[in-house]
Structure 1
Amino acid sequence: MDGNDRSPRAATAHLGPYERYGPYSEADMERYVPEPDKRPGRTAFQRDRARVLHSAALRRLAGKTQVVDPGVNSAAAVDTSPRTRLTHSLECAQVGRELGAALGCDPDLVETACLAHDLGHPPFGHNGELVLAEFAEDCGGFEGNAQSLRLLTRIEPKKFVPDPAGGPAPVSVGLNLTRAALDAATKYPWPRGGHPGAPDSPKFGAYEDDLPVFGWLRQGAPDDRRCFEAQVMDWSDDVAYSVHDLEDGLQAGHIDPGALRSAPERAEVFGCAATRYAPPGTDPAELSAALDRLLGQPWWPHGYDGSGLAQARLKDATSQLIGRFCLAAENATRERYGTGRLTRYRAELVVPREQRLECAVLKAVADRYVMQRAAQARRRAEQRVVIGELAQRLLERAPEGLDPQFRGIFDAALDDRARRRAVVDQIASLTDAAATALHARLHARGA
């Protein structure tokens, strides 16, 4: 490189580790339990990223459902290996890292949040989440994002400290990430029943048992407001799964691009989008315009037939869509806030309504043609039985069936509520295959 190099890396090479990507305070880099740096020159956020990347919880996402079930072969002639929660998280992390860096965030911090955002999701995705929410009603409920916080701060074995209550055994503080990393990974910064304006919402970010660490990570944060890095993570999540679920659905043969020209088919897609994905009160005409904007692009994968050329065109379309959604957010945010470094609570991510609706339509297309298939409905019903019966049998027989880690938590529980939570923690940690196998094993023993 010559002296005229203006790349971001060259422009910041002379700066200290915490000056390169924005103004982060010492409080942002604090850990729940203080610990010394092991390697000089490595930032606290680089350590956070490494801890999540090396965690067993991240690896287990390889066996958890995204949309097309892992392990279920594609209908195409060549197995195109549909995405799992792990590949989705890696792709979300790549999108978030680049978008965050473009807006002045520390890229390692945003990547950490993206890698961590789905760690708490149970086997069988949102289907398993619904069953566990019902089972856990008496012990504080279940929510995948709240479970992610619990995993990061209590369950994933990395750092143990003496019991602050004076007990004889040390207690886990999970990965002991920085305050900023935990805050960035918190999509719903309120406890159960605390959704602003919607106390009955099933979405929340912390269980009652985890309020001490939740209060710590939210110190100094405005009530119910997500930090800027969490907003970048959330939009990156939407971008990654809307675009890639479309790609998986096309490659698996579930989505026919030509059907999106049919008025009855479009009406079903728009109904799904309006109910589940678009802002309340969205006019169907807006959704129709959003879909037409995408269908009118020269790179849209019309006539996809699975050939090598069609696959290359589809891959280009996914790249174009990601760039379209990220650049729209970057440009709109810069237009409002200027060229400074945007971090923590100094800004709000601005996503134009047109791109939000385009993203909502893509989600609805995958929902309509992949998730609503009759075979998927039958499979989801079977999965609900597996999780429901597994939870009940584990609770009845515990500590039998529990892994050593969760057996210890169960044995140390002080009441039935805590014991039920230990069973929930065990099930949430399982992959789809592990949940199915454990259910079969316990069922056989009870026969």
Structure 2
Amino acid sequence: MSTSRTLAPFACRPDQSRGRRYAEASSETRSPFQRDRDRIIHSEAFRKMKYKTQVFVYHEGDNFRTRLTHSLEVAQIARSISRVLGLDEDLAEALALAHDLGHTPFGHAGEDALQEMTAAVGGFDHNAQSLRIVTKLERRYYKFEGLNLSWETLEGLVKHNGPLTGFPGARPLPLAIASYATKEDLELDSFASAEAQVASLADDIAYNNHDIDDGLRAGLFKISDMAEVPLVGPVFAAVKTEFPDIDPSLHIHEAIRRLIGLMVSDLIEETRRRIARFAPADCDAVRHLGQPLVAFSPVMRQNDAALKAFLFQHMYRHYKVNRMASKARRVVKDLYGLLVEEPECLPPEWQNCCDGKGGQATARAVADYIAGMTDRNALDEHRSLFDLQEKP
């Protein structure tokens, strides 16, 4: 299906997509990137993000972000930026919605535990797991495994943070990405599309600002603690000066709204400067530019780094978060250790993927099984397997 929207010359054009690994008839009503977005939304992994941690475990409160609400917020920001820059909004949205599919239960604490437990069999990486989900683990079609997404969506999913190979200091490829690279060339030594770059920075904008929101509402830090944080402190102060009697909750909302707007505007202005400077002729020129086309200004990058440092100290390493993360790591390690040694405790469909006690295929199947759990699933499964009073 062709599109009537006006796209920039360097945008990914749906009518010029490189296609899917398994050929399918085109849709009369949707572009390839719209179909990718819709397949992601209808996937089991997408639904599970409702009960996967962003920072707080699901039972700690209904008002905190989950992976699902975070992904929706990223998608909104990515679409808005893409529209202004003349990029394909559907591709940017698809990438924003899919970028966290591979996260384990309990956020980075769960990922760290699973990485430690699987180190001898190739390790674990949530970006690689996202690729594994959409190319193998989702089972919705008779003719192929996975969702059979377009080349552009797979490329953006893998490379949204930049090239993976071909530069000094490049890390070894995660197992799932290295394995898929033998089947389809995603050009891992180049940058991704401008749409993927937008989705990546929309992720930064969303989680930085919404972690401020969640951290304040959880009482992990106060507005006054952020007074010296560049950009953030002055914005909160300006809101209070303008509205001296503002309700604390509205103070947070108004400041976050302004911060998101400032970061989005900066990204658009800096990207326009780069577009004018480099004048990429098409989407392949973006991939081979040698640096990102979509970026924050140097000042905003410094502001972003300062905010991340503040959140790391005052939120991600807060003792209350540390305690929950410690519990989470123990749950994941307990589950992994038991199931690898006793794969007969897995559901039948997962036992079929195993090669016996302690086998490599068993280890990978157990990692996939645990990574696909929600926080609630993992806690329930842990009780079922380790609490003698619980029914199996």
TM-score with structure 2 setting the length: 0.86
Correspondence 1:24 to 2:10:
no
Which residue number corresponds to residue 247 of structure 2? 309
The one-letter code of the counterpart of 1:367 is F
Give 1:298 shift: 6.6
Higher mean C-alpha displacement, 85-94 vs 317-326:
317-326
Aligned length, in residue pairs: 375
CA contact (8 A) 1:299 1:316 kept: no
Give 1:196 shift: 3.4
Aligned pairs for 1:417-428 within 5 A: 417-428=360-371
Structure-2 separation of matches of 1:224 and 1:41? 32
Structure-2 separation of matches of 1:205 and 1:102? 37
CA contact (8 A) 2:104 2:371 kept: yes
Aligned pairs for 1:26-41 within 5 A: 28-37=17-26, 39-41=27-29
Correspondence 1:185 to 2:151:
no
The one-letter code of the counterpart of 1:322 is I
The one-letter code of the counterpart of 1:126 is H
Which residue number corresponds to residue 123 of structure 2? 141
Structure-1 separation of matches of 2:127 and 2:102? 6
CA contact (8 A) 2:46 2:101 kept: yes
Structure 2 CA distance for partners of 1:25 and 1:222, relative to 1, 3 Å: farther
Give 1:180 shift: 0.7
TM-score with structure 1 setting the length: 0.76
SS of corresponding position for 2:182: helix
Correspondence 1:368 to 2:313:
yes
CA contact (8 A) 1:31 1:177 kept: yes
CA contact (8 A) 1:149 1:205 kept: no
Which residue number corresponds to residue 318 of structure 1? 256
Structure-2 separation of matches of 1:87 and 1:314? 18
Which residue number corresponds to residue 62 of structure 1? 50
Which residue number corresponds to residue 85 of structure 1? 67
1:243 to 209, 221, 235: 209
Which residue number corresponds to residue 224 of structure 2? 258
Correspondence 1:401 to 2:389:
no
Correspondence 1:103 to 2:85:
yes
CA contact (8 A) 1:92 1:240 kept: yes
Which residue number corresponds to residue 281 of structure 1? none
Give 1:160 shift: 3.7
Which residue number corresponds to residue 438 of structure 1? 381
SS of corresponding position for 1:434: helix
Structure-2 separation of matches of 1:294 and 1:61? 29
Structure 2 CA distance for partners of 1:298 and 1:396, relative to 1, 3 Å: closer
2:33 to 45, 57, 71: 45
The one-letter code of the counterpart of 1:177 is L
The one-letter code of the counterpart of 2:316 is M
Structure 2 CA distance for partners of 1:424 and 1:406, relative to 1, 3 Å: same
Structure 2 CA distance for partners of 1:302 and 1:341, relative to 1, 3 Å: farther
Structure-1 separation of matches of 2:33 and 2:14? 12
Give 1:199 shift: 4.2
Give 1:371 shift: 2.0
Which residue number corresponds to residue 344 of structure 1? 283
Structure 2 CA distance for partners of 1:109 and 1:119, relative to 1, 3 Å: same
Structure 1: state its 5+ residue gaps. 1-14, 74-78, 162-171, 267-290
The one-letter code of the counterpart of 1:294 is V
Q: What RMSD over aligned residues (CA atoms) do the two structures have, in Å? A: 3.0
CA contact (8 A) 1:104 1:343 kept: no
SS of corresponding position for 1:196: coil
Structure-2 separation of matches of 1:377 and 1:222? 35
Give 1:86 shift: 0.7
The one-letter code of the counterpart of 1:24 is R
SS of corresponding position for 1:297: helix
Which residue number corresponds to residue 356 of structure 1? 301
Give 1:132 shift: 0.9
Q: Deviations over 1:145-203 (max 9, x none)?
A: 00000001111112343xxxxxxxxxx43111100111122235666xx58333458x8
The one-letter code of the counterpart of 2:378 is A
Higher mean C-alpha displacement, 226-235 vs 49-58:
226-235
Give 1:205 shift: 8.4
Which residue number corresponds to residue 167 of structure 1? none
The one-letter code of the counterpart of 1:159 is Y
Q: Deviations over 1:390-436 (max 9, x none)?
A: 0011111214223x54333336x9x9222211110000000111111
Structure-2 separation of matches of 1:173 and 1:299? 53
Structure-2 separation of matches of 1:335 and 1:199? 29
Q: Deviations over 1:346-394 (max 9, x none)?
A: 3311321211222222223322222222222222111111111100111
Structure 2 CA distance for partners of 1:31 and 1:103, relative to 1, 3 Å: same
CA contact (8 A) 2:104 2:126 kept: yes
Structure 2 CA distance for partners of 1:200 and 1:208, relative to 1, 3 Å: closer
CA contact (8 A) 1:145 1:188 kept: no
Structure-1 separation of matches of 2:280 and 2:58? 39
CA contact (8 A) 1:188 1:205 kept: no
SS of corresponding position for 1:321: helix
CA contact (8 A) 1:228 1:345 kept: no
